[in-house]
Amino acid sequence: MYEYDDWQGTMMLITEWSVRLLSLSDALSVPDGGFSIDPRTGADLRIGYAVAIHPEHERIFTNRVTAGDLIEYVADVADTLARPGRVLGGWRDPDSGSVYLDVSAVVSTLAEAWSLAVRYNQLAVFDLASMMSVQVATTNTV
């Protein structure tokens, strides 16, 4: 069992997460809004390209996503989020208005992100520097 002093500097407190989850749900209320955050610290990632790489964990919402929805999602995918290099991702598709929650990776180049997006049949990658999605024209058919 951890002593409070052991994890105090590395983990967010419950109250911090509550406030953070409310702001994350707000970010999903606008077209092309979203987030890519480090699940260990809650920090926003601002450099690179985010792409969902675990389609088995993708959740699509057609209604507003609440903090409760985010809590439930994080609990469901906690084991995958704990893997190295994984981030918590959320995105509102500006075309359909649907909200996607997923487990993503952040890579340094658009080419690498594009390759992963095609491999995992994703609609877009997210450019964290410009805070805009980049649509992916896949050749995959359903």
Cα atoms in the Cβ-side hemisphere of radius 13 Å centred on 48: 16
Instruction: Give residue 75's pLDDT band: very low, low, confident or very high (50, 70, 90).
Output: confident
pLDDT for 129 beyond 90: yes
Q: What is the DSSP letter of 38?
A: -
What is the pLDDT, as a whole number, of residue 118? 94
pLDDT at 102: 95
Express each pLDDT in 77-109 by its tens digit.
999 999 999 999 998 998 899 999 999 999 999
pLDDT band at 37 (very low <50, low <70, confident <90, very high): very high
Across all residues in the chain, what is the average pLDDT?
85
Confidence of residue 51 (pLDDT cuts 50, 70, 90): very high
Q: What is the pLDDT of residue 9?
A: 46
Sign of CA dihedral 115, 28, 30, 18: negative
Angle, CA of 50, 56 and 61, to the nearest 5°: 75
